[in-house]
Amino acid sequence: MSAMHIQWKDEYCVGNALIDYDHQTLVNITNELFACVDKGLSTEEISTVIKYLINYVELHFQREESLFQESDYPDGQAHMKKHREIEQVVRGISDQYAADPDAINIDDVMKFLKNWLINHIMRTDRSYVPFLNV
């Protein structure tokens, strides 16, 4: 198990089954990435997992956005803007890594992803969940 491994905790649950499922999946994919890096897999293999993670992040953001657009959540626009920003950052890292892996410090990327994910689950999403109708 990677030293970076994220252990899922009950306190990560926000109380919405779909969102909680997505978050657990994001944690699982991120842990898979950490394991691949630890095993010293090739750039191509690591790049594939990073892309898979990004695709799931985008899917998750779409789900969140359709949920809070149907709710009375007042900060939807600002929250969506944050989603687009993080997508750009992560896509940038992924493209750079695929083009020239030596230009990227993968340890920094892992730390960034871990911090972002825990912050997203523990902080960002707490803002809209109380407004959801489901």
Binding site for Fe ion (CB under 5 A): 125
* CA-wise closest residue to 97 among 83, 110, 116, 84: 110
Q: CA-CA distances (angstroms) from residue 96 to 3, 12, 14, 77?
A: 25, 31, 33, 29
CB of 45 to Fe ion, least distance (A): 26
CB of 25 to Fe ion, least distance (A): 11
Q: Which is nearer to Fe ion, 83 or 109 (CB)?
A: 83
Q: Which is nearer to Fe ion, 29 or 125 (CB)?
A: 125
CB of 103 to Fe ion, least distance (A): 29
Cβ pair 68, 132 in contact under 8 A: yes
